[in-house]
Structure 1
Amino acid sequence: MTDSTARLDHVVLWVRDPIAAAGFYEEAVGLAPVRVTDFAAGEAPFPSVRVNEETLLDLMPLTMAERMTMLPGAADSSGHPVNHVCLSLPADGFEALRGRLEERSVPVTDFSHDSFGARGPARRSFYFRDPDGNVLEARHYD
């Protein structure tokens, strides 16, 4: 049985330049930056971008990998991005995201139709990479 009260809090992405990554996610993807100024001032270990009121993407500097001692081998994940992170958007937000990516010459895949996700089959989806090679999927449902 699953716990229906569970929510996704955050996903940590390894990035070479957290400030540049935050800029990409703000300008191209449309996500609000969090703690970028604090990170730049040395007051926070990493910045984030807000997906929604409950979920962040943390932009962890690759230089932090050697300090990842909480689990044996945790530092080895540095440089190995997750398979992909999927962002679900309303149709107008989906179109706006694709437009911003194309304006910035970010390569995007062709549309897929009816791919299965958390809310069933998505009407359309596509994939793109951030500047650090992390793969993101964007989708919208009916």
Structure 2
Amino acid sequence: MTGTHLDHVVLWVNDPLASVEFYEKTVGLTGVRTAEYADGKAAFPSVRVSADSLLDLAPLTMAGSMDAIPGAGGTAGHPVNHVCIAMDKQAFEALHVRLEANGVAVSPYSHNSFGAHGASPRSFYFRDPDGNIIEARHYDE
């Protein structure tokens, strides 16, 4: 692997296994280390966004241990504003349908929002079961 890329983002969640289920069934991502977490052999499970990146679904109970990082006192457990996942147009439309079918509220479409690959024709936002905000977008029209 060459160059710099986003490896992972940690999301604080109340129930990691329920979060994996949401991201697998509703969002369409693949769980990683789910069985290991359930067996107590991994600290948290993840879901794969792409070959190069994961969302780590860390239990909120771990947040206190993050205060041990120099200069991070009092910051553990704070949410990020949002995480954006990009996909092709067909997957984007299928995700929107799955979210609505599962009763997940979605925002109105945004148009021409700037991202890693320039302006995205359409994007929308939704919350996961723990309130983390996820943006979905596509670049191909």
Matched, 1:120 2:114: no
Partner of 1:136: 134
2:70 is the alignment partner of 1:71:
yes
| Cα offsets for 1:25-63 (capped at 9, x unmatched) | 101110000001100100000000000111000000011
Q: Tell me the distance in 2 between the aligned counterparts of 1:56 and 1:109.
A: 24
Aligned-partner Cα distance in 2 for 1:113–1:84: 17
List structure 1 segments (4+ residues) > 4 angstroms apart after TM superposition. none
Could you give the per-residue CA deviations for residues 54-107 of structure 1, whole angstroms, max 9, x where no partner exists?
1000000011112221234356331x2100000001000001110110011000
Q: Find 2:82's aligned residue among 84, 87, 108.
A: 84
Residue correspondences, number: 138
Q: Give yes or no for contact 2:31–2:47 (8 Å, CA) kept in 1.
A: yes
1:14 maps to which of 12, 15, 23: 12
| Counterpart secondary structure, 1:77 | coil
Identity %: 57
Q: Which runs of 5+ in 1 are unaligned?
A: none
TM-score normalised to structure 2 length: 0.93
Q: Report the Cα distance in structure 2 between the residues aligned to 1:88 and 1:128, rounded to whole angstroms.
A: 14
* TM-score of the superposed pair, with normalisation by structure 1: 0.93
The corresponding residue for 1:50 is 48
